[in-house]
Structure formats: structure tokens, C-alpha cells
Structure 1
Amino acid sequence: MPSNADIVRECIEDVINRRNLDSAAKYFWEDVVELVPFPGQGPGVEGVKDVVRGMIAAFPDMLWTIEEQISEGDKVLTRFEWTGTHQGEFLGVPATGQPVRVWGMIIDRLEGGRIKDTRMLMDAMGMMIQLGVVPPP
């Protein structure tokens, strides 16, 4: 049986990098809770899929890389970086054509081999600076 870290790693590769949104139910419980939801994010696995769909629409070449994982008990912390080119509206910002490199972390809690709740913390300010929306400090 795969470890919790393996499941999270496979989820990122399959759902995000391969754009296989239909497989999300394999990795998330239907009633998964996003503890730090995106603005306007709906509930459950459909809300997660909508966020990923929106990110793909805004950054069609988006690619996530796992930099580090720490697993303890039923939780997995994944430190990631993603890159992409801003080609569609994202968080109210119209396409800029700018490339971005964004770091963040996700803390997932798994039950029975699927993600029950999740918390994504992403460097949104750094991304907005790279998009030219916010001036650098």
C-alpha cells in the first residue's frame, strides 16, 4: 500500500501536472475541506477541481515540482514550487503574459488513503510582484 506522501505526490502529478481533473475523486474525499479556501472556492472535491481548473486556465503551461515532503501520522506537508506563464485572468488579475515561479506548502490530512482536509499556503504576494500588479518592496 502506498504511503500518504506517495498518495499526495501522485495526486499532484496526476490531477495538476497531467491535467486529469476527473481522477480527483481517487485522491480526495467528496466532502474534503479546504481550510484556507481560495476566494470564491466552493465546497468539497468539486471546489478543489474548480481551483485547479482556474489555475490551468490562467497558467496553461503550469508545472508543479515537489521540493520536499514531511509525513507524520495522518498528515503530509508538501513544499512545492510551480511555474507558469500568466495567460488568463487569475484572482481578478487580467492576463499579463508574465512568467512566474511561485513557492508554497500544502498540509494534507488523509483518511483511508484519500485527502480529508487540506491547507494550501502559497506566496501570493510574490506572485503579484512577479505579475507587476504590486510594486516590489
Structure 2
Amino acid sequence: METIEKGVVRRMYELINLGRVDDLDEICSPDLKGHAGAGADLSELKSSLNGFREPFPDLTADVRHLVQEDDVISTWVTYTATHERDFAGVPASGRRVKFAAWDLVRVREGRIVEITQYCDLFTIMSQIGALPTSAPA
């Protein structure tokens, strides 16, 4: 069943997929509180997401699961993208990446008021060639 809260969260991923991170104002509270990869507030959330869009301009979120309890939605997402610019000091490799992310989003009165984001940076770094593929003998 699609609730209003789940619809708001789905809209967030639509905006990410469209590359319209700056339009998050339409669904996020100006007083948004962020945690972990989301940064501390709305400005830092946008900066964090744009920080991924720059090296991975074709970043696409595939929402796998939305699970809701009260006003909190837990989201399991799979992202795919191509590494086209420097990321974390690693020059563009042209490699495709696929990684998982988990977001915990609180929605009140149709707006995102709190978000915690975690993504699998180890997998990203491995796929762009930043990590050795095996330990030395």
C-alpha cells in the first residue's frame, strides 16, 4: 500500500534520478535534520547528493524496498552509475558501479524532516579500482 509518506520518499529518488537534487526543497523541510552520509541539514544533504552526481552523472536509484512504521520509512536502494570524474581522489575510470544504500527517512505533514543515509562505499571504491583485489601473500 502506497502511503503519502512513501510517495514523498519515492519522489526524493525521482529527483535524484532526474539530476534535480536542488529541487529537494519541494519535499524536504527547511529544518531537515540529517545524519551519517546525509550531512547535518538540507544544504549538506544536497551537497552530499551532488557530490555523487558529479563523478557519477548517470547515477540511478532503483528503490528495492520501502518499509514504513509510523512516520519512518526504511528504504533499500540499489544505485548504478558510471565513474566519469574524480571520486575520493580516484581519477575517472569509466567503470560501471553498482552498490547498495539504505536510507531511514522521517516524513511529517508531507515533508522529509529527518534522514539518515548509508551507502556501501567499500563496493564503490573496489569497483572503480581504488582497492587492491587481493591481499599480498
Give the TM-score of the pair, scaled to structure 2: 0.87
TM-score after normalising by structure 1: 0.87
Identity of aligned residues (%): 26
Give me the whole-angstrom Cα distance separating, in 2, the residues matched to 1:51 and 1:90: 12
After superposition, the C-alpha distances for 1:34-73 in whole angstroms (9 at most, x for unaligned) are 21036xx5x4212111122221111111111001110110
Aligned to 1:10: 11
Aligned residue type for 1:32? L
- Structure 1 unaligned regions, length at least 5: none
Q: In the alignment, which residue of structure 2 is the partner of 1:81?
A: 78
**Structure 2 residue aligned with 1:56:** 53
Matched, 1:19 2:16: no
Aligned partner letter, 2:11? E
Structure 2 residue runs without a partner (length 5+): none
Given the alignment of the two structures, is residue 112 of structure 1 paired with residue 117 of structure 2, yes or no?
Answer: no
- Aligned partners of 1:127 and 1:61: how far apart in 2? 15
1:8-36 CA distances to partner (integer Å, 9 max, x unpaired)?
001111x2011123321111111212210
CA RMSD of aligned residues (A): 1.8
2:30 maps to a residue whose letter is E
C-alpha separation between the residues in 2 aligned to 1:37 and 1:127?
14
Contact 2:37 2:118 in 1 (8 A): no
Q: Give the number of the structure whose alpha-carbon radius of gyration is greater.
A: 2
* Matches of 1:104 and 1:56, distance apart in 2: 15
Distance in 2 of aligned mates of 1:76 and 1:27: 15
Distance 1:33 1:110 in 2: 11
**Displacement, 1:118?**
0.7
Q: Moved runs in structure 1, 4+ residues, more than 4 A?
A: none
1:109-132 Cα offsets, whole Å, 9 max, x none, are 112211111111111111111111
